[in-house]
Amino acid sequence: MDAVAMKSVTQLTVNADHLQGAIGALFKARTVAVVGISADHAKLGNVILRNVVKNGFAGNIYGVCRAPVEPGVFEAGYERVRFVQAFSEIEEPVDVALFAVPADMVVTALASVPLGRLRLAVILASGFTETGERGASLETALRQYCLETQLPVVGPNCQGVVVPGVKLQMTFSPMYNRMLEGKVAIVSQSGAMAGYMANNLMRRGVGLCCVVSSGNEAVLTAADYIHALADKPECRVVLCYIEQIKNGRHFARSVQRLGPQQRIVVVKSGRSTAGVAAASSHTGAMASDDRVIDGVFRQLGVVRARDSATAIDVAMALANGRRMKGGAVGILSVAGGLAVELSDLLEMDGFTVPPFDPDTLERLKAKVPEFGASRNPIDLSGAILTQESLFEEVLNLFARARNLDGFAIISTFIRNPAFAHAIVRMYRSTDKPVVVCWTGTPEQTPESLEILTRSGIPIYGDTGRVALALRAIRGDTDIS
């Protein structure tokens, strides 16, 4: 394309409806392609194609080869893949194509795609703005080509995309294998951060509706993905790692489109001098005034997490969609000291731990052993561990308390899975939030933790994280 004839990048935009249609095609992909296949199975293109096949994508799959590949090079299991020598040989529209080619070949590879044949491109290669002047020039050329041709692009300098609902694992990372479908969408400029968040959420029983590694965001930005996710009510939480907000107004409008049952949680890096410098070399992100970001997030109701671990905890708390109507919390514990600690933390955070209503209190007094405490917080003490039926009876009374907006259950080392089953039944008996502090490790209480993890109950290993989770459920936005 003649550079003189091309318009200025700043004068070009991708049509909004076209752009959102392309992201929508990702969520419902039926035909995909991987560009950059070779006879070397260690090459990224081959690794990604293998992940697409092995994770069970049911649609049409194409492999676009760099050079002719001899028959028999690909092992059994690739029978469904149609190998071609050029994108133009693919006669049907392609929803998503991932380009595993070097940075200086990306525009040439894109130009080989017949116009209108591809809805969304994913560019893996690094070597763009994050590397300096030459890379910035390559990224400008990429952006200009995509805007001229109205081709939406994920990346460059990204890890790929994952959509568990259609079993599309289109990355080079094994972290996304055995995907768990669910209610959390991850949009991250860092591929490693996306993997860290996804792995930790799925390990704790929280499924994903998509993962987008957005990279340098040369064309599509976090705001575009948020805009599209607003049309997916099954997505309850949008979890973002962002190094730069390129268009503040677009970001704000996209967040405002989210429905009343959707929450957005953001880790915004670049708060410090060192962080700004690291972000620039990572994705080419430019600095922004962090105080302004804080103010905008508060106005928009964005939950700003201090770090990625906190963001994961918050996403877990919000994923089941339960919300607090007030600030009254009931606590039931088999460990008195932890109940005292949680009571202090909650009251310091503006919650109340009120006395039970008279009817509930009388019923609890008849059940709670005299060496325990029937007030709020309930302390059943460790002696209850030999009385699993009594534990469930007290739980049922606790769940029916009329003056509470949410519940916290504290358990220590309990091997008997009957206690975990009782907690799950209590959780399912109410529509109010329930958060569990379980201090037993997976090695100590594997069966009990597996039961709780499968149930969708938010589970944390200490009282501080329980308090933080309840703050998020209450609707707090500054979480640290």
What is the rounded average pLDDT of the residues 451-479?
Answer: 96
User: What does the pLDDT look like over 102-126, one tens digit per residue?
Assistant: 999 999 999 999 999 999 999 999 9
Element (H, E) at 26: helix 16-27
Helices of type H across 188-330: 191-203, 222-229, 248-257, 273-283, 290-300, 308-318
Tell whether omega for the bond before 156 is within 30 degrees of 0, i.e. cis.
yes
What is the rounded average pLDDT of the residues 141-156?
Answer: 96
Closest CA to 290 of 310, 262, 270: 270
* Phi, psi of 157, rounded to the nearest 5 degrees: 60, 50
Q: Which amino acid is at 196?
A: Y
Q: How far apart are CA 267 and CA 264, in angstroms?
A: 10
User: What does the pLDDT look like over 291-334, one tens digit per residue?
Assistant: 888 899 999 999 999 999 999 999 999 999 999 999 999 999 99
Every domain of the chain and the residues it spans:
1-156, 180-321, 329-479
Sheet holding 94-99, edge to edge: 81-84, 60-65, 31-37, 94-99, 118-123, 153-154
User: What does the pLDDT look like over 126-143, one tens digit per residue?
Assistant: 999 999 999 999 999 999
Percent over 90 (pLDDT), the chain: 80
User: What does the pLDDT look like over 404-457, one tens digit per residue?
Assistant: 999 999 998 788 999 999 999 999 999 999 999 999 888 999 999 999 999 999
Write down the pLDDT at residue 285. 53
What fold does the segment set 1-156 form as a domain? Rossmann fold (3.40.50)
Straight-line distance from the first to the last Cα atom of the chain, in angstroms, rounded to the nearest whole number: 50
Write down the pLDDT at residue 283. 57
Give the residue, 2 or 125, on which the prediction is more confident: 125
Residue pointed to by tokens 């071609």:
84
Q: What is the mean pLDDT of the chain?
A: 91
| CATH number, domain 180-321 | 3.40.50.261
Q: How far apart are CA 409 and CA 436, in angstroms?
A: 5
Give the residue, 17 or 82, on which the prediction is more confident: 82
For residue 268, is pLDDT > 80?
yes
Write down the pLDDT at residue 11. 44
Give the residue, 199 or 4, on which the prediction is more confident: 199
Give the residue, 272 or 35, on which the prediction is more confident: 35
The two tokens of residue 475 are 């609707």
Write down the pLDDT at residue 412. 84
1-156 and 329-479 in the same fold: yes
Q: Which amino acid is at 74?
A: F
Write down the pLDDT at residue 271. 66
Confidence of residue 276 (pLDDT cuts 50, 70, 90): low
What is the rounded average pLDDT of the residues 236-246?
Answer: 95
Closest CA to 26 of 158, 164, 139, 157: 164
Residue pointed to by tokens 């400008």:
140
For residue 281, is pLDDT > 70?
no
Q: Which amino acid is at 105?
A: M
Write down the pLDDT at residue 6. 39
| CATH number, domain 329-479 | 3.40.50.261
Write down the pLDDT at residue 93. 97
Distances (CA, A) of 45 to 66, 97, 171, 188: 10, 11, 9, 21
CB 431 within 8 Å of CB 386: no
The two tokens of residue 21 are 């249609």
What is the rounded average pLDDT of the residues 214-243?
Answer: 96
